[in-house]
Structure 1
Amino acid sequence: MTAKLKIVEIARLKKSCRCCEKIVQPPAPTRPVQRGMAGPGLLAHILVSKFDDHLPLYRQGEILARLGADIPRSTLIDWCGQAVSTLRPLSALIKAEIMCSDRLHVDDTPIKVLDPSRRTAESRGVKEGRIWVYVRDDRPWGGSDPPGAAYYFSPDRKGEHPQAHLADFKGVLQADAYGGFKKLYEAGTDEAPRIREAACWAHLRRDFHDVWKMTGSPIAREALDRIGALYDIERDIAAQSAEVRRRVRQEHSKPRVEAFRAWCESQLPRIPGKGDLAKAMRYALNRWHAFTLFLEDGRVAIDNNAAERAIRPVAIGRKNYLFAGSDAGGDIIADAMTIIETAKFAGLDPQAYLADVLTRINDHPARKLDELTPWSWRPPSEQRSRAA
């Protein structure tokens, strides 16, 4: 089916009373973008094309021109920013809901940001910002909280940013060994840490795999086999209850994990201390409490793949649209990704979802904004049937 654009003309008829000569006219419908001519369907298409299909706005402009709509790139940028601004209360609500969880996955990735203060005759002036993602996904153990992803932008990778994101969080944080998280794991005045660290066995496995691929080391191969046995157990308990997962892990995974630790300790004196193989083993041993937390709690995953999958679209998009135009542009990316990726987690078509939300959000009561979240939203057909 060939894509089409259409112009919607809105007729607002004026009527006058012959007796009192009063003139009445229905109000103009609310637009998703103030003083903008783009309808909700086109805006949804632009947002999904950019942030889910990773199509830069200049390419979208070329496609729209072939369809008969010559829209300047500057206008597309303006529409994109205004549409996300309209959706920002919804993004904030989604983030607040996700960050209330007591278990989160987190990952981050760099993104280039234009910075006029760094501009020179030879350079446009670019700094390295950061996109962070926090994922709630209780599906592996049948939890009742719906999955979602909250994205945040920061102008750098200082630890103060995740510390601010997680200021009210209490629970298990599954992450890599980024030093900026260290302060979060420190015990408070009551000697009980507010946040417990869970490590990622997939990250550790990749370290051993890189060594094995480069050198063919039989020790690295054995490490892969030992970790692989843990994943065999995880596949068997997928979608089981948290208690079943904990019980099976205690019975079958824990002995293998303890044997892996003893094996690493026995191998370290026999291999070069500065080599990558030794670094991988020390990485595991130095954070052993984090690598074994999944044995104690069936709700905790064995790895951080949920966050790594959620951050991948940003990395793909980065290769296409290259950079954010400003820090405000980074915030736009984060808010758009929060809504689109959470809609996908909910099994929705993000374009159909956004088209309907952009149609309704400006007239929707603020106290009922939760009705527009991906977890509560219903297609227009269901809305009509309920109203009937």
Structure 2
Amino acid sequence: MDETPIKAGRKAKGKMKEAWFWPLYGDHDEISFTFSPSRAKAHIDKVLGEHFEGVLLTDGNASYARYVEKKPGITHAECWAHTRRHFEKARESDPAADEALLHIAGIYAMETWIREKGREGPDKRQARTDYSEPRVKAFWQWCDHQINRGDMEPGHPLRKAVEYALKRQRSLDVFLSDPDVPIDTNHLERGLRCIPMGKKTGCSAGAMSAPSMSVSCRAC
């Protein structure tokens, strides 16, 4: 699940209100674009409800974590691509951020290799255990070392990136034990390309002028 802002409804002369699409990526590569006038957690509660069970893969928006807290039937997985972006932002302030990016690149390299080898199901899980897990553990060890540096004061960009990752360690590790869980939400973000209003796209969702219901389309 993800969320992305759109302009919907008139706010004032020459200005439009900000609203939100909350797309859901399903088991059959379909995307349902649910709509809400706000980014409040209430929309997650409404759409997923009380009976959803399984794995919920999201970005780092805290609203998802709060939803999952009281749902024992849900495993919360989070996106490595979003984690990587925080280290990219820290590069200018601390060259050590490049080390984090190399660690994460190694994790992604294993995902590419597993995909190219056509591993699925138990074979994919075993490959992640054998090849991806050691790289993930090395990354967490690196994070632990960085957070204990004497010069990592509160507010330091690299410290923020490390804290972001460590806070989500359990969720970021979910993909290692479940072969059906992607390493990131990039497949859903690719499906969001049809969101901008008024642009010509191959997806009918992009042509909505007054979104008031969910719209499903095949993933781009």
**TM-score interval w.r.t. the shorter chain?**
0.7 to 0.9
Contact 1:184 1:195 in 2 (8 A): no
Cα distance in 2 for partners of 1:206, 1:111 equals: 22
Name the residue aligned to 2:179.
298
Work out whether 1:182 is the aligned partner of 2:77: no
Cα distance in 2 for partners of 1:312, 1:178 equals: 20
Work out whether 1:111 is the aligned partner of 2:1: no
Identity of aligned residues (%): 33
Whichever residue aligns with residue 157 of structure 1, its letter is: R
Relative to the length of structure 1, the TM-score reads: 0.50
Among 108, 111, 127, which residue is 1:231 paired with? 108
Evaluate the alpha carbon distance shift between residue 319 and residue 274 of structure 1 in structure 2; reply closer, same or farther with a 3 A threshold. farther
Whichever residue aligns with residue 127 of structure 1, its letter is: K
Provide the secondary structure at the position in 2 that maps to 1:161: helix
Displacement after TM superposition at 1:328 (Å): 7.9
Work out whether 1:162 is the aligned partner of 2:52: no
Cα distance in 2 for partners of 1:273, 1:257 equals: 25
Q: Which structure has the larger Rg?
A: 1
Among 69, 76, 79, which residue is 1:200 paired with? 79
Evaluate the alpha carbon distance shift between residue 136 and residue 240 of structure 1 in structure 2; reply closer, same or farther with a 3 A threshold. farther
Work out whether 1:132 is the aligned partner of 2:22: yes
Contact 2:4 2:20 in 1 (8 A): yes
The CA RMSD measured in Å over matched residues stands at 2.2
Q: 1:56-105 CA distances to partner (integer Å, 9 max, x unpaired)?
A: xxxxxxxxxxxxxxxxxxxxxxxxxxxxxxxxxxxxxxxxxxxxxxxxxx
Q: 1:157-194 CA distances to partner (integer Å, 9 max, x unpaired)?
A: 11111211111321101101212223321235xxxx12
Cα distance in 1 for partners of 2:198, 2:83 equals: 26
Whichever residue aligns with residue 38 of structure 2, its letter is: D
Whichever residue aligns with residue 220 of structure 1, its letter is: A
Cα distance in 1 for partners of 2:85, 2:15 equals: 35
**Residues matched between the structures, number:** 208
Name the residue aligned to 1:267.
146
Among 249, 252, 258, which residue is 2:137 paired with? 258
Displacement after TM superposition at 1:313 (Å): 2.1
Cα distance in 1 for partners of 2:97, 2:139 equals: 12
Q: 1:37-74 CA distances to partner (integer Å, 9 max, x unpaired)?
A: xxxxxxxxxxxxxxxxxxxxxxxxxxxxxxxxxxxxxx
Cα distance in 2 for partners of 1:221, 1:182 equals: 28
Segments of structure 1 that go 5 or more residues without pairing to the other structure are: 1-105, 138-145, 322-326, 346-388
> Which has a greater percent of strand?
2
Displacement after TM superposition at 1:125 (Å): 5.2
Cα distance in 1 for partners of 2:73, 2:46 equals: 14
Contact 1:250 1:295 in 2 (8 A): yes
Q: 1:98-137 CA distances to partner (integer Å, 9 max, x unpaired)?
A: xxxxxxxx1111111224xx53xxx345321101111125
Cα distance in 1 for partners of 2:62, 2:37 equals: 17
Whichever residue aligns with residue 121 of structure 2, its letter is: A
Whichever residue aligns with residue 247 of structure 1, its letter is: Q
Contact 1:129 1:154 in 2 (8 A): yes
Whichever residue aligns with residue 296 of structure 1, its letter is: S
Work out whether 1:151 is the aligned partner of 2:33: yes
Displacement after TM superposition at 1:262 (Å): 1.5
Worse-matched range after superposition: 252-261 or 229-238: 252-261
Evaluate the alpha carbon distance shift between residue 113 and residue 222 of structure 1 in structure 2; reply closer, same or farther with a 3 A threshold. same
Whichever residue aligns with residue 266 of structure 1, its letter is: H
Cα distance in 2 for partners of 1:112, 1:274 equals: 33
Evaluate the alpha carbon distance shift between residue 328 and residue 263 of structure 1 in structure 2; reply closer, same or farther with a 3 A threshold. same
Cα distance in 2 for partners of 1:225, 1:182 equals: 27
Contact 1:108 1:311 in 2 (8 A): no
Name the residue aligned to 1:359.
none
Whichever residue aligns with residue 35 of structure 2, its letter is: F
Cα distance in 2 for partners of 1:222, 1:306 equals: 26
Q: 1:322-355 CA distances to partner (integer Å, 9 max, x unpaired)?
A: xxxxx981226x52xx2xx31x66xxxxxxxxxx
Cα distance in 2 for partners of 1:247, 1:264 equals: 25
Equivalent positions of 1:1-388 (< 5 A) are: 106-115=1-10, 118-119=11-12, 123-124=13-14, 126-136=16-26, 146-167=28-49, 168-188=51-71, 193-212=72-91, 214-215=92-93, 217-238=94-115, 239-270=118-149, 271-314=152-195, 317-318=196-197, 320=199, 329-331=210-212, 334-335=214-215, 338=216, 341-342=217-218
> Which has a greater percent of helix?
1
Segments of structure 2 that go 5 or more residues without pairing to the other structure are: 201-207
